[in-house]
Amino acid sequence: MAFNYDEYLRTDKMPTLWCWGCGDGVILKSIIRAIEKTGWNMDDVCVVSGIGCSGRTSSYINCNTVHTTHGRTLAYATGIKLANPDLKVIVISGDGDASAIGGNHLIHAARRNIDITTVVYNNNIYGMTGGQYSPTTPKGEKGTTAPYGNIDNNFDLCKLAQGAGATFTGRSTVYHAKMLTDLIRKGIENKGFSFVESRSLCPTYYGRKNKKGSVVDMMNYLKDNAVMQAKADKMTEEEMASKFVIGELYNKPDLEYTEQYQKIIDMFSKER
- How many Å apart are CA 170 and CA 158, to the nearest integer? 7
Model confidence pLDDT, tens digit, residues 93-130 = 999 999 999 999 999 999 999 999 999 999 999 988 88
Rounded CA separation 142/137 (Å):
8
Please classify residue 23 by burial: count the beta carbons closer than 10 Å to its beta carbon, then call 0-12 exposed, 13-18 middle and 19+ buried.
buried
Q: Per-residue DSSP letters for 54-87?
A: GGGHHHHBSSEEEE--TT-HHHHHHHHHHH-TTS
Residue 34 belongs to a domain? yes
Tell me which DSSP letter residue 9 carries. B
This prediction's pTM: 0.95
CATH number at residue 76: 3.40.50.970
Which residues of the chain, if any, have pLDDT below 70? 1
Question: What confidence tens digit (pLDDT) does each residue in 132-148 have?
Answer: 999 999 999 999 999 99
Q: What angle do CA 165, 260, 68 make, to 5 degrees?
A: 65
Structural domain includes residue 115: yes
With contact defined as beta carbons under 8 Å apart, do 119 and 148 qualify? no
Number of domains forming the structure of the chain? 1
Residue 4 lies in a domain: no
What is the rounded distance in angstroms from the CA atom of residue 171 to the CA atom of residue 153?
Answer: 19
Containing structural domain, residue 159:
17-271
User: Is residue 5 domain-resident?
Assistant: no
What are the tens digits of pLDDT across the range 175-187?
999 999 999 999 9
**Range list of β-strands (E), 35-193:** 45-49, 64-67, 88-94, 116-122, 168-173
Task: Give Cα 180 to chain centroid, integer Å.
Answer: 10
186 within some domain: yes
